[in-house]
Amino acid sequence: MTILVTGASGRVGQHVVEQLVKRGAKTRVLTRDPSKTEFPKTVEIAVGDLLDLDALRMAFTGIKTLFLLNAVTGDEFTQALITLNIAKEAGVERVVYLSVFDADLAVNVPHFAVKYGAERMLEQLGFSATILRPAYFIENDLMVKDVILNYHIYPMPVGSKGVAMVDVRDIAEVAAIELIRRDEATDKLPVDTINLVGPDTLTGSDLATLWSQVLGETVQYGGDDPGGFEENLASFMPKWTAYEMRLMAERYVSHGMVPSAGDVERLTEMLGRPLHSYEEFAKGIGAQEKFVA
């Protein structure tokens, strides 16, 4: 059967498509603008978005397995609920859903609460589902690499509890493995939740030390100030989004994103290789900087 991938133009979605194609899975993507992303020739393209009911119904034709990824937007919950209702109506049975780490605990953070609501809907409507709960994306720090390189400050307020940052390539490969496993299953599989984490749980100070070692220059940690983080974000994004990011940062500071026992080992076994590390990411940035210099 064909697997439908939503959010296919984004960082994670593109890697999911790549992994599915690599494994020989028939793949269809739902995208607003196919011209913005170059998909492999074997991939079917459905044009539309998660609030376009006609496009959704067309995209779900002949589909029994769905990868659901929807972005952090003001109508994220509506998108998820509409999509899952249309999926159920269309006879889709199997879903891999990209949620977020500790979705059931960080209920004051809007997009965490939204994703937990979608998780509950998957269970209540009887889908055969894998719920993926990724920690902080390593690649998020591409947004702040210039601050790190030019000002020698690690600015993200991740706190002292530790965050097990995860590489999007690992997220996507686990997603593809689960999509194919569920798609090929002869019987309905039970709901499963997988924490997606990196191999190392790093504090703000750890990250500053790591960057210092990579760059050969002293990098300072910017400190645990979600308020200042919000103020900076509000200068270039909607204020409600900046506030939501502040709430998320407060969660990092108060609780971190610390793996449960066995999380890293489970992922390593699934992938058959070590997880990509933050150190690997930082060294890649450092090598690029030296090459440019």
pLDDT in tens, 114-160: 999 999 999 999 999 999 999 999 999 999 999 999 999 999 999 99
Going from N- to C-terminal start, the domains of the chain cover 2-135+167-196
Contact 222, 155 (CB under 8 A): yes
Q: Enumerate residues 6+ apart whose C-beta is below 8 A from 282.
A: 210, 211, 214
Provide the pLDDT for residue 74: 86
Residue that has been written with the tokens 């929807």 in this structure: 70
- Are the CB atoms for 134 and 115 separated by under 8 Å? no
The dihedral formed by the CA atoms of 110, 29, 57 and 118, expressed in degrees to the nearest 10: -20
Given this model, what pLDDT does residue 287 score? 85
- Cα torsion through 3, 263, 199, 102, rounded to 10: 80
Burial class (CB in 10 A: 0-12, 13-18, 19+), 239: exposed
- Tell me, what's the pLDDT at 35? 86
At 172-183, the pLDDT tens digits run: 999 999 999 999
- How many angstroms separate the Cα of 40 from the Cα of each of 22, 35, 47? 10, 13, 16
Q: Which of 179, 139, 165 is nearest to 275 (CA)?
A: 165
Q: What is the pLDDT of residue 111?
A: 93
How does pLDDT run across 251-273, given as a tens digit for each residue? 999 999 999 999 999 999 999 99
Q: Domain 2-135+167-196 carries which CATH code?
A: 3.40.50.720
Q: How far apart are CA 65 and CA 260, in angstroms?
A: 28
Please give the pLDDT value at position 172.
98
And the tokens for 234? 């509000």
Cβ-in-10-Å burial (0-12, 13-18, 19+) of 248 comes to buried
Residue found by looking up tokens 């200042």 in the block: 228
The confidence score (pLDDT) of residue 5 equals 98
pLDDT reading at 280 higher than 70: yes
* Buried b or exposed e, range 177-201, using 16+ CB within 10 angstroms: bbbbbbbeeeeeeeeeebbbbbbbb
Predicted pLDDT of residue 72: 84
CA 88 from centroid of its chain's CA atoms: 24
Q: Are 69 and 42 in contact (CB under 8 A)?
A: no
Strand order in the sheet with 63-68: 44-47, 27-31, 2-5, 63-68, 94-98, 128-134, 192-196
Instruction: Provide Rg for the chain, Cα atoms.
Output: 19
What pLDDT was estimated at residue 23?
Answer: 97
State both tokens at 112: 């965490």
Q: How confident is the model at residue 288 (pLDDT cuts 50, 70, 90)?
A: confident
Helix (H) or strand (E) holding 64: strand 63-68
Averaged pLDDT score across all residues of the chain: 95
Do 225 and 91 touch, CB atoms closer than 8 A?
A: no
Mean pLDDT of the region 80-104: 96
Residue in 184, 183, 189 with CA at minimum distance from that of residue 65: 183
